[in-house]
Structure 1
Amino acid sequence: MQLRTVVITVLLSTLALLGTGVFLSQQIASGLFQERFRQVESEANRGLSQVKSTLEAVSSTDRTGTVAFVRDTLRTLEGDGATVQRDFILTPLPGEGNIYVSAQASGGITSAVVPEELATAVRENQGQYWQSTALPTSDGVSPGLVFGTKVALPPGREYALYLVYDLESVQETLNYIHRILWIAGALLLVVIGGIGWYVTRQSLQPVAHAAAVSEKLAAGQLEERMEVHGADEVARLAQSFNRMADSLQDQIQQLETLSHMQQRFVSDVSHELRTPLTTVRMAAEVLHDARDEFDPINRRSAELLYNQVERFQSLLNDLLEISRFDAGVVDLDSDNWDIKPIVQRAVDMAQIHADRIGSELRTHYPQGPIVASMDPRRIERVVRNLVLNAVEHSESKPIDIFIGENEHAVAVSVRDHGIGLTEEAASRVFDRFWRADPARARTTGGSGLGLSIATEDARLHGGLLQAWGQVGDGSNFLLTLPKSKDMVLGESPLPLIPADAPTPEIAPLISDLEAAEAEADPETEAASSSFEEPTAEAIQHAADTAAEPHPVQQLTDQEGRSER
């Protein structure tokens, strides 16, 4: 900013000096010319008048005497008493009669320096006339003035007599003044630039200091403050800035304290609940195993107790995992794995829920292994959460699972064709406990933390989890992972917006048609949400019967049940 201010100041000063210099140059040149012209005009008029009266008074009829008299008379015009160099030109005018005196000139000049307009005026009129001209010199040309009049010489012939004044000395004076102006202007610009640099530096230094302190505050150095000097506006700005920084520091520290207390509370409560929950779970398992001996009411109560304890256990595990992410103590056990069997294991575990809902899980895998550096337990949990989330919102429609790779990354996308997402929902779907429709019941028994944990797992791998949705046309969740830790995550191998997504112009028409069909068949929506909630026993059975992984490396960790 300082450099820009100085540059603008110098540029504007340059324009002002150029305008002033041009004006001064014109005024000085005009003044010099007018002053010298008045002097030259007076001398020229006086000299021409005297010579004219002298020549016209001669009464000699002798050629030799006439020539000698004219030469002696014209010699008086060669600079005697003149303020600048002066020469004469005498040339006969067209006419009849004898010519005693031939054309004459002094100083080596010729009649070529006489402008045609001046020659015509002298030839056709009486009186004295003048005009500016350019005189040839060894270095080029110089300005000059030509004064002329008509004279008569014996034996009655008319001549044109011109006095030529060389204004080279005036031009040299003007050139000298121009050089002085240029030098003075350049020095003045340097001085203006220096003054501008100093003034802007003094003025902007507090602003620069405030910017530096602001950057340090933004970087987390909350103890930084501005220096206060004096009692002017800058000092008041520094005082206000420091008060604002103090307030921000206090609020941030309070928020950090509250955040630590919240994290500690969640972690402590989760850990403290594990022991009684284990006891309750063991009792629930005993009751669940003996449920066949109970009457129908107690049997149903035992089943509900067992299912809800399992769900509570899942929620507790998710809370513990979130607290680990918040505390930054999560470990990543990564190695090179083939992602295809990991994805297939998650799909197999979600198959029981898809069968209950009536959704078909369709897999689209490329040929051959797709190997990347990952923690298989966490990636399996991410994919399982995405598939279960798609099943919950599929409305009994097919679900497509894609796997892709390129030179730098691998990707998994889960595409459902259910209720879809709005733009706001797509931007908030990874928030903790957030639900697009709070009135909608969960059908897969999730905790509401599944997608949040999935996002943290993807970020832990250096990857990215994205969501796209369109109301009435389903949603698409895209997981992209780098193939190795040292690779920068580039473009995903799979598109976030699926190829079968309708264009913005067609989408409203499809939504209107689906709305019309829903009005025609009001039992459709009720049927899609009337399925029985899957039990934890069924989920565990699906995990135990999941397909074996690809032989690149044996998977042994099946832990990590977590759903949205």
Structure 2
Amino acid sequence: MSDPEAPAGPVGPGPDGEAPDDGSVAEEPAAPTTRRLSVRSRLRRRLLATGRSWRGSLAFRVVTITLLGGLLSLGVTGAVITAEIRDRLFNDRLSAILQQAADRVDEANSTLTASIASTPSEAQNEGGDIVGIIARSQGVLGSALVRDEAATGPSILQPSAGNADTTLITEEMHDAVRQGAPLNWQSVVVTVDGEQHPGVVVGAHVDMPVAGDYELYIFYSLQSEQQMLSVVTSVLGLAGLALVVMVLGLTILVLRWVLRPVRQASRTAERLAAGLLDERMDVRGSDEVARLGESFNEMADSLQQQIKDMSDLSHLQQRFVSDVSHELRTPMTTIRMAADLLYDQRESFTPPLRRSAELLLTQIERFDHMLADLLEISRFDAGAAVLEAGPTDLAELSRNVIDAHQLLADSKGATVTLHRVSPSCTAEVDARRIERVIRNFVVNAIEHSEGRGVDVSVAADDRSAAVLVRDHGVGMTPTNAQRVFDRFWRGDSARTRTTGGTGLGLSIAAEDVRLHGGTIDADGRPGEGAAFLMTVPIEEGEPVGPSPLELWPDHDDQATAQVIGAGRAGDADPASAGSPDEAEEAER
């Protein structure tokens, strides 16, 4: 009996394996499905990592292929050699067994022929002596005499000696021995000291005195041959693994030797791409790898020289443009003053002279704008562009641009609509530069609108402010959209332009936006129009965030856009215009 006052120990399962009911809620073990999924997930991650290593490393692929090829070759070669050694051992041992068994059978037949046994008991003793002598022979596991089913003499006990398991003898073996063949054998599995080993049983027909026809069986074990084969297989396996490891090591060494210049070439190419044009490969020797390094260095020298020549030419061109632009400013000022004077007096001229004065002033203004663009590009190239930022209402700035180019819009039959998407569109920007960006966008849109509408949208959030200008004219391809900000690039040089230009306007706009730390984008669809989007940070020096406007928006969905200018900017009241209906009225 247990002590009732003894402290209670930890509660364990009852004798039937169930937990006692102590009022606690047992936690259910984790489901096997969860463990299987975890193992599957880890396996998948490892396979993905292996796949990445396979695709990203030449050394890994070569080492893996060498290892797998070596193991496959080792397995095939080892299997062939092991099979050959096994067959040789078995055949040699079988020949020796058959020779020894033939001698034992001959001795048994001689003994039985000379026997004087006349009673079953004497024949029994004679048979026991024969199997005992054979069982004690070297290499013999055991022997037994089995009565032939066709025997007609008196039956005696079937003597056996040693480890002779007659149940291993198949019926086919019995039939072959009864037919009188000299020696018959079959492979069997014998048990020695509780362990199973390959063996051979040999059978022959003998004539027992008094008892008649009997079958003599001799059992042999191939344990020593099996042990020898195991030793040979182990030695071959270890030698093969050592060979594979040696080949793998040599492969790694060769790979390191071969891939070292390749990796060096890769690193050198990366440094060259980063602008370190003096980087070169170390060349040693005169083999193929050395010639590769020499060719690489010659290529780098050629590229460096070409880049230097192009840089010198670019600097020369920039210097030429800057000098010529500055030199032309002084005579251009004088010419402009004379043209203004002639223009002011045009009413006193004859019609042909009056028209000439107007054309002269127009072309001089165009030339003056071209000089201004060239000077601005020169400042960007020289790194002399300065940002003079201050709080600026981008919507009001856009309104001023639209007002300034209303005559151009009227001549093209285009209606320019200004959308204020956000209540406040103020940002710290250089008003002069941002106005130039918007002007380039608007003039470009009017020029290519083909008399259709032009939408100017302005929006801002807590990080960024944006201006989007979209026309619905000829549009442009994605390829052209990628090049539209390149210097001197024109989408279609054959188009008739009324505003002149050098192809530098959008390039200068891109430089102005980048000077603010913003982004500039363009997109278009042939026959559907083009869109230009400028995004700048709200505060100077802060990183720009995502644009509050989409580059290719659907204006039909912008029901909250506030129209503060349509057609002639200022025709609509910003305080009262806020619905799409009012926007349509302003456009009309």
Give the TM-score of the pair, scaled to structure 1: 0.79
| Structure 2 residue 19 is matched with structure 1 residue 19 | no
Task: Supply the AA of the counterpart residue of 2:205.
Answer: K
Structure-2 change in CA distance of 1:250 and 1:59 (3 Å): same
Q: 2:418 aligns with which of 363, 368, 375?
A: 363
Task: Supply the AA of the counterpart residue of 1:34.
Answer: N
Which structure 1 residue ranges, 5 or more long, are not aligned?
A: 501-541, 551-564
Q: Could you say which residue in structure 2 is the equivalent of 1:103?
A: 158
Residue 86 of structure 1 contacts residue 165 of structure 1 at CA under 8 Å; is this kept in 2? yes
Q: Could you say which residue in structure 1 is the equivalent of 2:511?
A: 456
Query: What is the root-mean-square deviation of aligned Cα atoms in Å?
Result: 3.3
* Cα shift at 1:388: 0.9
Residue 421 of structure 1 contacts residue 469 of structure 1 at CA under 8 Å; is this kept in 2? yes
Task: Supply the AA of the counterpart residue of 1:46.
Answer: D
| Cα distance in 2 for residues equivalent to 1:426 and 1:372 | 27
* Cα shift at 1:220: 1.9
| Cα distance in 2 for residues equivalent to 1:392 and 1:257 | 37
Q: Could you say which residue in structure 1 is the equivalent of 2:246?
A: 191
Q: 1:9 aligns with which of 66, 70, 89?
A: 66
| Cα distance in 2 for residues equivalent to 1:18 and 1:371 | 77
* Cα shift at 1:53: 4.1
Which gives a bigger RCO, structure 1 or 2 (Cα 8 Å, sep 6+)? 1
Q: 2:189 aligns with which of 134, 147, 157?
A: 134
- Note the alpha carbon deviations across 1:295-315, whole angstroms, 9 max, x for none: 434433333333223222221
Structure-2 change in CA distance of 1:357 and 1:172 (3 Å): same
Which structure 2 residue ranges, 5 or more long, are not aligned?
A: 1-57, 557-567, 576-588
Residue 135 of structure 1 contacts residue 141 of structure 1 at CA under 8 Å; is this kept in 2? yes
Structure-2 change in CA distance of 1:359 and 1:488 (3 Å): closer
| Cα distance in 2 for residues equivalent to 1:339 and 1:345 | 10
Task: Supply the AA of the counterpart residue of 2:64.
Answer: V
Residue 409 of structure 1 contacts residue 493 of structure 1 at CA under 8 Å; is this kept in 2? no
Structure-2 change in CA distance of 1:48 and 1:491 (3 Å): farther
Task: Supply the AA of the counterpart residue of 1:468.
Answer: G
Q: Could you say which residue in structure 2 is the equivalent of 1:35?
A: 92
Q: 1:222 aligns with which of 273, 277, 280?
A: 277
Structure-2 change in CA distance of 1:493 and 1:52 (3 Å): farther
Q: Could you say which residue in structure 2 is the equivalent of 1:467?
A: 523
Residue 373 of structure 2 contacts residue 504 of structure 2 at CA under 8 Å; is this kept in 1? yes
Q: Could you say which residue in structure 2 is the equivalent of 1:437?
A: 492
Aligned residues: 505
Structure-2 change in CA distance of 1:429 and 1:160 (3 Å): same
Task: State the identity as a percent.
Answer: 42
* Cα shift at 1:392: 0.8
Q: 1:284 aligns with which of 318, 323, 339?
A: 339
* Cα shift at 1:396: 1.2
Task: Supply the AA of the counterpart residue of 1:464.
Answer: I
| Cα distance in 1 for residues equivalent to 2:523 and 2:295 | 43
| Cα distance in 2 for residues equivalent to 1:446 and 1:281 | 18
* Cα shift at 1:354: 1.1
Structure-2 change in CA distance of 1:447 and 1:78 (3 Å): same
| Cα distance in 1 for residues equivalent to 2:192 and 2:461 | 81
Task: Supply the AA of the counterpart residue of 2:468.
Answer: S
| Cα distance in 1 for residues equivalent to 2:171 and 2:90 | 22
| Structure 2 residue 229 is matched with structure 1 residue 213 | no
Give the TM-score of the pair, scaled to structure 2: 0.76
User: Within 5 Å, which residues of 2 pair with 1:240-255?
Assistant: 240-255=295-310
Q: Could you say which residue in structure 1 is the equivalent of 2:550?
A: 494
Residue 389 of structure 2 contacts residue 429 of structure 2 at CA under 8 Å; is this kept in 1? yes
* Cα shift at 1:43: 0.6
Structure-2 change in CA distance of 1:165 and 1:229 (3 Å): same
Structure-2 change in CA distance of 1:97 and 1:247 (3 Å): closer
Q: Could you say which residue in structure 2 is the equivalent of 1:45?
A: 102
| Structure 2 residue 113 is matched with structure 1 residue 60 | no
- Note the alpha carbon deviations across 1:361-385, whole angstroms, 9 max, x for none: 1334424335666544433322221
Residue 344 of structure 1 contacts residue 547 of structure 1 at CA under 8 Å; is this kept in 2? no
| Cα distance in 1 for residues equivalent to 2:116 and 2:428 | 127
Q: Could you say which residue in structure 2 is the equivalent of 1:390?
A: 445
Q: Which shifted more, 399-408 or 164-173?
A: 399-408
Q: Secondary structure at the match of 1:77?
A: helix
| Cα distance in 2 for residues equivalent to 1:15 and 1:405 | 67
